[in-house]
Amino acid sequence: MVLIRCLRLVKAALGVSIKVRSSLLMEKVNLPWLLLKSLARMACRPYVLLLMSRTVNLRISSKGHKQWVAEVQFLGVVKHPNLVKLVGYCAVNGEREIQRLLVYEFMQNKSLEDHLFGQAFPTLSWETRLRIMLGAAEGLAYLHEGLEVQVIYRDFKASNVLLDENFNPKLSDFGLAREGPMAGNTHVSTAVVGTYGYAAPDYIETGHLTDKSDVWSFGVVLYEIITGRRSLERGRAKPEQKLLDWVKLFPVDSKKFGSIMDPRLENRFSIGAARDIAKLANSCLSKSHKDRPKMSRVVDRLKQIIQAPIEVYGEDLESPEVSDTEPENKSNQSNVSESWKRRMAHLAKLGEHVEGASGRRLMMLQRAKVP
């Protein structure tokens, strides 16, 4: 069988055993369950097998083959902590069928999409979301500005951001990646591809591809991360179906802004940082691509937001349900003490990732007496 032949070739070439995730195989290719079960019993080194396309007739496989070749080429030369590693690849042609495979490093926590929108996964904490935003931004910045030839990703979305065992993000699926414009050119003219809801409107209208097309997609995902909503949800009321239209109803500097935050966070977030991230997302979503920031600037801004004085996180937790006219001092001493304890617990969790002056400030806060 073609699949078994591919597996044997990959195993022989790499000198390692391959770990196969049967659920992923089920999503990618139509294979009998017994075969999937037998593959899943193979030795569990930390690699994951991806089948890039179904077994298809050779006459209609050219598009899938181009994407497979593109991914092999790009992942074969790029190296960055926030890009998935390509361990190996294999392609076997038969008389009537072709099978292409890629072997990635194993990403234990699946994708950002699974954790943001899946009911079977625990809620991502605010701190983890910030870390994912920064890591994904650094991966894109590397593609745009860290190589001799600019690479435009073209398909940045939550499902393509994979998470390792420590929830470090890594970009995957480079089948649609393209080289950026050559010197003297402002864009690449190409057929419009990507995912609806993430592609930049100027790219859709003109077919002119630039690195700012990726910046738009990043802005969409920033809003997905803070709201816990998909870019498009047909099952919601019409005003709420398109995420970017819905968030406009809650301006960043208004008192209503907190209403867009993911309710699963249970108000455990910094409203100040959330506002700053929304402003950054809005700049990424500027109508004119010339007004969007470069990804290196996005990285710098995210670092500033994350490294803001630590007391902001403790003092600045906001509940969308609190009335604007509600008195500030409505709790008795007992309630204040409980609030202080919860705040300190939140600060302690944040303190695991801070150093220097911010770390010393955290220690001072923790030693302070309960008000």
Stretch 214-229: mean pLDDT = 97
52 and 192 co-located in one domain: no
| Per-residue pLDDT tens over the stretch 348-361 | 555 554 454 445 44
Q: How confident is the model at residue 98 (pLDDT cuts 50, 70, 90)?
A: low
- Within a domain: residue 132? yes
Give residue for tokens 């991230």: 277
- Looking at the fold, whether 95 and 232 belong to one and the same domain comes out as no
Mean pLDDT value across residues 4-8: 52
pLDDT at 64 over 90: no
Q: What percent of the chain stands above pLDDT 70?
A: 63
Q: Which of 193-197, 209-213, 344-348 has the lowest mean pLDDT?
A: 344-348
Q: What is the CATH number of the domain that holds 280?
A: 1.10.510.10
Q: Which of 114, 155, 202, 300 is catalytic?
A: 155
* 119 in a structural domain: yes
Residues 200 and 286 in one domain: yes
- Model confidence, pTM: 0.70
Residues 79 and 120 in one domain: no
pLDDT for 228-283, tens place per residue? 999 999 999 999 999 999 999 999 999 999 999 999 999 999 999 999 999 999 99
Same domain, 170 and 189: yes
Residue 94 in any domain: the answer is yes
Q: Which residue stretches of the chain are H helix?
A: 2-14, 22-28, 33-40, 62-77, 112-117, 126-145, 201-206, 211-227, 238-241, 243-247, 271-284, 295-306, 311-315, 333-350, 356-367
How far, in Å, CA of 310 to CA of 212, rounded? 32
Same domain, 275 and 238: yes
151 bridge partner residues: 179
198 belongs to a structural domain: yes
Are both 156 and 248 inside the same structural domain? yes
Residue span of the structural domain in which 17 resides: 2-105
The residue with greater pLDDT, 245 or 189, is: 245
- Tally of domains in the chain: 3
Most confident of the ranges 71-80, 218-227, 234-243? 218-227
* Residue 7: per-residue pLDDT: 53
Q: Is 155 a catalytic residue?
A: yes
d(CA 8, CA 363): 56
pLDDT value at residue 69: 79
